[in-house]
Structure 1
Amino acid sequence: MTKRQNRMVLVALLVAGAILAITLLIQALGSNTNYFYSPTEVAQGKAPVGKSFRLGGLVAKDSVIRKDMKVTFKVTDNANAFTIEYTGILPDLFREGQGIITTGSLVDGTFMATEVLAKHDENYMPPEVADALEKAKK
């Protein structure tokens, strides 16, 4: 093979390697995304079943039931409410009427949370929760 042919093969291999790397990167990023849904969107069936996603809203009044390390509560966007089950220690700022975001998946109509995040002060509302509450008002 001539020098020119060697260079052409090298360039073709580099381009093929770059395409493969970009394809793998896009595939990895796409499978690790957690989309946010409001209780209304979950009730409408927009949330994936069996896949992890984030659900947020306000903890409904008089909905928190604690039994050992298992906590069951409802999250609402003032239009719909959704039951959440979580096993573990809740954040110190978790309480009724506060904005939260949970990560988990739907199992038989109940959201099984693996993580619960509470807002960090009285003036902060997660942007996703604020948007969901605003949509629910309309």
Structure 2
Amino acid sequence: MKSLKKQRRIQVIVMAAVALVLATGLIGYAMRDGINFFRAPSQVIAEPPSETEVFRLGGLVEAGSLVRGQGESVRFSVTDGGESVPVVFTGVLPDLFGENQGMIGTGRYVNGVFEASEILAKHDETYMPKEVMDALKEQGVYKAPES
């Protein structure tokens, strides 16, 4: 009788472990396209990602680089103080988007140009995304907001 209980207990533990591994694998598979890694312009120039990889690019919009095309097309450069990456975006920009302002874009790096599908801008005069702030500090460009 003890052997049957022990065998049943082992079967339950094995089945629970298999179910846990399967669930973890399914979650990872489902999230594979939903995870976008952040890169600063210096990282993109040093190690260009593949053209199929979707990632987030952040930094400051370079002064004098903002050029509005026909319709909703916009070109500008993003810098972290060390390197600059040209960006192309078609769509409506956030109201607070502007030169010398922090931004994060989601998209792909194709033929030396970041093709953004989404642009986020800081939402007040003191906010800057943590990733952008860290990249700017690393380059020695970050200036703390005056209070």
TM over 0.5: yes
Aligned residue in 1 for 2:60: 58
Residues 1-138 of structure 1 mapped to structure 2, 5 A cutoff: 4=5, 8-45=10-47, 47-67=49-69, 68-137=71-140
Deviation string 1:49-85 (CA, Å, 9 cap, x unpaired) is 4211000110011111111211010001111111000
Q: 76-85 or 4-13: which moved more?
A: 4-13
1:57 alignment partner, SS class: strand
In structure 1, stretches of 5+ residues that fail to align are none
What's the Cα RMSD here? 2.1
* Contact kept? 1:104, 1:112, Cα under 8 Å: yes
Q: 14-23 or 49-58: which moved more?
A: 14-23
Question: 2-side partners of 1:28 and 1:122: how far apart?
Answer: 37
Question: 1-side partners of 2:33 and 2:4: how far apart?
Answer: 42
Q: In percent, how many aligned pairs have the same letter?
A: 41
Change in 2 beyond 3 A, CA 1:7/1:101: same
Q: 118-127 or 12-21: which moved more?
A: 12-21
* Contact kept? 2:82, 2:139, Cα under 8 Å: yes
In structure 2, stretches of 5+ residues that fail to align are 142-147
Question: 1-side partners of 2:24 and 2:139: how far apart?
Answer: 39
Across the two proteins, how many residue pairs are aligned to each other? 137
Q: 30-39 or 86-95: which moved more?
A: 30-39
* Alpha-carbon shift at residue 30 of structure 1 (Å): 4.5
